[in-house]
Amino acid sequence: MNRKIYNDLIAWKNSKDFKPLIVLGVRQCGKTYIIDEFCQKEFKNYKKINLLFDTDVVKLYDSNDSSEKKYNDLKILLDFDFDKEDSVLFIDEIQVSENLISELKFFNEKHSNVRIICAGSLLGVKLAKLKKSFPVGKVTRLYMYPMDFEEFLIAYNQQELLYKIKDCFLNNISMGVLHNKAIDYYRRYLLSGGMPESVKKIINCGNDYYNYDLSILNDIIEDYKNDMNNHVANTNETLKIRNIYNSLVTQLQNASKKFQYSVINSDAKSREYSSPLNWLIESNMVQMCKCIKRPEKPLLGFVDEDVFKVYYSDVGIFNRLVNNDIKTIMLDDMKIYKGIITENYVANQLRANGIDLLYWKGNRKSKIDFLINTINDGIIPIEVKAFENTQSKSLKVYNDLYHPKYMIRVSLKDFGYKDGIKSIPLYAVFLIKNLVV
């Protein structure tokens, strides 16, 4: 499957700054597949190792030998000269060896010609809790997310529909009769989410998506639960992580959508749950959206650290967690969950396209779902509507206070521009990246 991160991998290969690359992302978002494909296509000499199985590499880096000796012994052990021109070494599941992660600094400083790519399950969690020093400034990081809607349409071989959506976005013109077709694919995406294996399953159903096997998403959720059990220090911590994860549906149903520790249980305190919450964020199982006190540049300079929202990292998983079945989603009958699932979808699309998740909350119960800092037009508010009824008091309050050049409303409605509001259909959220600094 075509993934947009491939272009970032090419840019890394062509850069003059030969730093080892670390690719971070939630489990099963396709990291290993795309890195393997990239290395095979773009390099003449390629070696892949997996530290879950290549235990001698782990033992080598656990030894007290010098960095140079380990470096030379690694070549012999792997029977691979990664110093050779047009060569790359892919180290999967690198989180198994903290010592090897730390040694990436040595690779960069003493052998900067070497191309190394690293990835692994829960690697973000591992990096946050390293006991040894992390090679700050000596590695390049890339973040990978589940497939966004653009990649979903490409996987479906819907390039012409994609071109039409892009043209209508740029020119604020109607999709016409193609609007309903794009909405149909949007609902399919809500069903499968962006996990590559899940997308493959729904594509294999053809147009008979009522035969889509939901078990693939159930399996991913079970894998997440197993990670919570197997990669957390103690049972009490595991329970807290699970409780937070399970509470997000209720958190997002609150009128403010603000994350509240008291929703987990009435006695929960931030000091007890901040570490488990960080575990979920670092694992990329959830995505945090920070509250902005004043929508001024730079936006990150006005973050209220105590106020934030938390979304699931994949909308397909969200639908499974609330037991929305195929009929419920495809017939648009999600009822009480429709609003928060739609907002979660938008958050996923923005984050997958490199946009920081930020929102604004004002007085009089007004709030703006997301804020972006655009290239030419300053800070622009984004309001998300799950229904075709798009009336909103919050946009008016925001407009009266801050007078943005225009506002964005994301909904089931077609493209358009009226009264200072740019209408963007839900299936075109990924294109908002073109507006952002």
Cis check for the bond before 425: say yes or no (omega within 30 of 0).
no
Q: What's the rounded Cα separation, in Å, for the pair 70 and 300?
A: 42
Q: Coil, strand or helix: which one is 51? A: coil
pTM of the model: 0.95
Return the pLDDT at 387: 76
116-135 confidence digits (pLDDT tens) = 999 999 999 999 988 887 88
Q: Is the pLDDT of residue 261 over 80?
A: yes
Q: Which helix (H) or strand (E) holds 92?
A: strand 87-92
Token pair for 34: 């795309």
Q: pLDDT-based confidence at 256, cuts 50/70/90?
A: confident
Q: Coil, strand or helix: which one is 29? A: coil
128-178 confidence digits (pLDDT tens) = 988 887 887 899 999 999 999 999 999 999 999 999 999 999 999 999 999
Q: Residue 105: which residues within 8 A CB-CB, separation 6 or more?
A: 133, 135, 138
320-338 confidence digits (pLDDT tens) = 999 999 999 999 998 889 9
1-30 confidence digits (pLDDT tens) = 899 999 999 999 999 888 999 999 999 999
Q: Are 304 and 352 in contact (CB under 8 A)?
A: no
Instruction: Give the rounded percent of residues in the chain with a pLDDT score beyond 70.
Output: 99
Return the pLDDT at 140: 95
CA distances (Å), origin 58, targets 54, 70, 104: 7, 11, 14
- Domain ranges, ordered by start, for the chain: 5-144, 247-320+338-435
| Topology annotation, domain 5-144 | Rossmann fold (3.40.50)
Tell me how far apart the 2 most distant CA atoms of the chain are, in Å.
Answer: 69
Please enumerate, as own/partner, the contacts of 4-7 that have beta carbons within 8 Å and a separation of 24 or more: 4/148, 4/150, 4/151, 5/34, 5/142, 5/144, 6/34, 6/37, 6/38
